[in-house]
């Protein structure tokens, strides 16, 4: 554990766990730096999926305001840069990343979740960017990621009002990808990870890299369709389909 972030991996799945529950997992600069280091550590370890979650009742209440109360211009730049770099490392990691959200994900906490590819939340989650109430703006790239996730109009609404929205509303506007009851969270995460890992990891990594990128999908499809992994998986699929057809014919 480093900087109150627990970094570990088990059976090909990486875990970044915010572990500062007594402070509602408020993100200190030390924690943010540890998150970036953790992403790089898990990438070297070769995990196929990274889960970002927290201990305690809340995902993260946001940046540690004791650091942001009256920073100098130099300190503000340093802290913002740390967050931008760490969250970019997460967003650009070659494997899928999933934020597992229970309780509040606000400010920098939501920015952390937005840096992940997918977000699963419980019904008791509340999410938002309340920085405007403090005459501030999200400092870690969250505005751009919010617009990419929910669109410009919804992003403006969330930023202008500083509202914390409930999980069901967050799912309706695309801020989270799935909402489950708290006691079903672990099962939902395990099921999603299983479906992701059933796909070819190289294809998944390329699909992630292409999301929102220039439209070169056709060229890459042409390239990937000729790889041994692609051929093997298509052969297996066709064999299963052929076997299913033969069984149906015998029954008729």
Give me the active site residues, please: 111, 131
Backbone angles phi, psi at 129, to 5 degrees: -120, 90
């Amino acid at each position: 554990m480093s900087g109150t972030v627990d970094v570990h991996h088990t059976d090909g799945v990486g875990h970044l766990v915010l572990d500062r529950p007594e402070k509602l997992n408020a993100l200190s600069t030390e924690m943010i730096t540890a998150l970036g280091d953790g992403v790089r550590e898990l990438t070297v370890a070769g995990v196929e999926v990274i889960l970002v979650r927290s201990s305690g009742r809340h995902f993260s209440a946001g940046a540690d305001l004791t650091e942001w109360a009256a920073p100098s211009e130099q300190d503000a730049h340093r802290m913002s840069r740390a967050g931008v770099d760490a969250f970019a490392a997460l967003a650009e990691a070659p494997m899928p990343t999933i934020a597992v959200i229970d309780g509040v994900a606000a400010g920098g906490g939501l920015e952390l979740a937005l840096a992940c590819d997918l977000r699963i939340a419980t019904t008791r989650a509340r999410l938002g960017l309340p920085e405007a109430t403090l005459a501030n703006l999200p400092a870690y790239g969250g505005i751009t990621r919010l617009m990419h996730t929910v669109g410009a109009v919804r992003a403006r609404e969330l930023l202008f009002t500083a509202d914390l929205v409930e999980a069901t509303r967050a799912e309706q506007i695309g801020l989270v990808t799935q909402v489950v009851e708290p006691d079903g969270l672990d099962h939902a995460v395990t099921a999603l990870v299983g479906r992701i890992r059933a796909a070819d990891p190289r294809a998944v990594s390329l699909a992630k890299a292409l999301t929102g990128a220039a439209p070169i999908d056709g060229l890459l499809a042409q390239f990937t369709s000729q790889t041994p992994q692609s051929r093997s998986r298509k052969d297996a699929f066709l064999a299963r389909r052929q076997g299913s057809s033969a069984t149906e014919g015998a029954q008729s």
